Amino acid sequence: MENHQLKEIFSRYLENRCTAGEVETLIGYFNTDNEAYLRLLIEQELESPEPDLNDEHLYTLTAEAFENIRQQIGKNNKPAEIRHINIPNHKKQRLWPRIAVAASLLLILSVTAYFITHQQQPNSKPNLVAKRLPQHDIAPGGNKAVLILANGQQINLTNAKNGRLAKEANMLINKTADGKVVYQSDKQNKAATELAYNTLKTPRGGKYDLTLADGTRVWLNAASSITYPSAFNGPDRQVEITGEAYFEVVHNAAKPFRVKVAGQTIEDLGTHFNINAYADEPAIKTTLLEGSIRVSNSTGNLVLKPGQQAVIKADQNITIDAGADMEEAIAWHQGLFKFNEASTEMVMRQLSRWYDVDVSYEGKIPPRQFSGKIYRNASALKVSDILSYKQIHFRLEGRKIIVMP
């Protein structure tokens, strides 16, 4: 069975849509050559950020998973040997159903491994979970950024304490407990008339969440920046970005919101949108999720509708991709890498930015493509494991990824 077929069955299992034969097939892949791939699928699901608090459904699915393994093990073992396997009461733990089912599958793998070990080496101690030999690894990125005030003062937000960071143009700049920068009006003082510009910059391996003075929220991806006035005292609201950012704009018809990026302007007409403008990408892509925006540059302008993506390549012409993958465009904002027939180079550019690593190639660049999702909280070594199933192989040396033919 191909890996993509195994993954489809696994997904149906998590949704409780598997047939009895498919469940048997899934469990049958434990302790086979495909076990490592199945374990990766399980670990990915365990790291899923998607909650579901239907506890009754949770308990049912988990119970079914344990019953399946009881039946499988029971075929080759005496009942007394499996009497100690108990179904955990997740009702008390309030886990998420999909995560609980994934966890139960991981336990199935562990318990199965135990009984094989028990049968073959009755006098040896059980090794419930196979462990990978220690290897060099790189942790994923996280909340890292530097805030540059109008006077040039730089605040390292990674180390800054929660609470008041600064006061500028009669705006209070605060860092919240959940790691965000928020601008709030100082109601005790009159609004300033001069514009004081701040810049928020994320390094490679960083991301950050910002709430502007008007309530507009901005999420910065790795190796990105946004420059903006601490208070919008002018006739419009204008910011400038590099890299990638996701916006949820508070609409104000009297004060248009405009984003300047690499020679183009995106004007908000009340919307949620994403801009990908990395200098090492072949095109600038502006993706509209909700509302309406106008994209303009020296060659013309176009108004986007939800579900459309404006693409500007080296010739500066603006084209609209009405079939763009919305999920792929904002995957980073949802804690994911999502690839749709992505080239090796495209995959490596994203990994380079998120893991703060340089990429080099041994020989020719492998002409391979990768489709799928990977959680961004996975370590670089785990990402390597996942990509290896698509024949994209690399090794880690210090803070360098070396892609192999």
DSSP characters for 193-246? SS--EEEEE--TTEEEEEE-TTS-EEEE-TT-EEEEESS--SSSEEEEEEEEEE
Phi-psi region of 86 (alpha: psi -120 to 50; beta: other; left: phi over 0): beta
Domain ranges in the chain?
Answer: 3-120, 142-328, 335-404
pLDDT above 70 covers what percent of the chain? 66
Would the pLDDT of 318 be above 90? yes
Whether domain 335-404 has CATH 3.40.50.150: no
Q: Which CATH number fits domain 142-328: 2.40.40.20, 2.60.120.1440, 3.20.20.70, 3.40.50.300?
A: 2.60.120.1440
Q: How confident is the model at residue 27 (pLDDT cuts 50, 70, 90)?
A: low
Which of 139-153, 200-214, 330-344, 377-391 is predicted least confidently? 377-391
- The token duo for 136 is 């060099």
Alpha carbons 288 and 54: distance in angstroms, whole number: 32
- Which H or E run contains 284? strand 284-290
d(CA 241, CA 219): 11
Q: Rg of the chain's alpha carbons, rounded to an integer? A: 25
Q: 158: closest CA among 112, 122, 206, 194?
A: 206
Element (H, E) at 350: helix 344-355
Look over the chain and give the mean of its residue pLDDT values, rounded to a whole number: 78
Q: What average pLDDT does this structure show over 333-354?
A: 95
pTM: 0.71
Helix H or strand E segment including 116: helix 97-120
- Chain mean position to CA 268: 25
- Looking at residue 58, its pLDDT comes to 40
Q: Could you count the other beta carbons within 10 Å of the beta carbon of residue 207?
A: 24
- Pick 33 or 391 by higher pLDDT: 391
Given a cut of 50, whether residue 114 has pLDDT beyond it is: no
Please write the tens of the pLDDT for every residue from 219-231: 999 999 999 999 9
Q: Which tokens is 265 given? A: 């302007």
Between 64 and 368, name the one with better pLDDT.
Answer: 368
**Residues found in the chain:** 405
pLDDT of residue 14: 61
Question: What pLDDT was estimated at residue 131?
Answer: 38
Structure tokens at 77: 């073992």
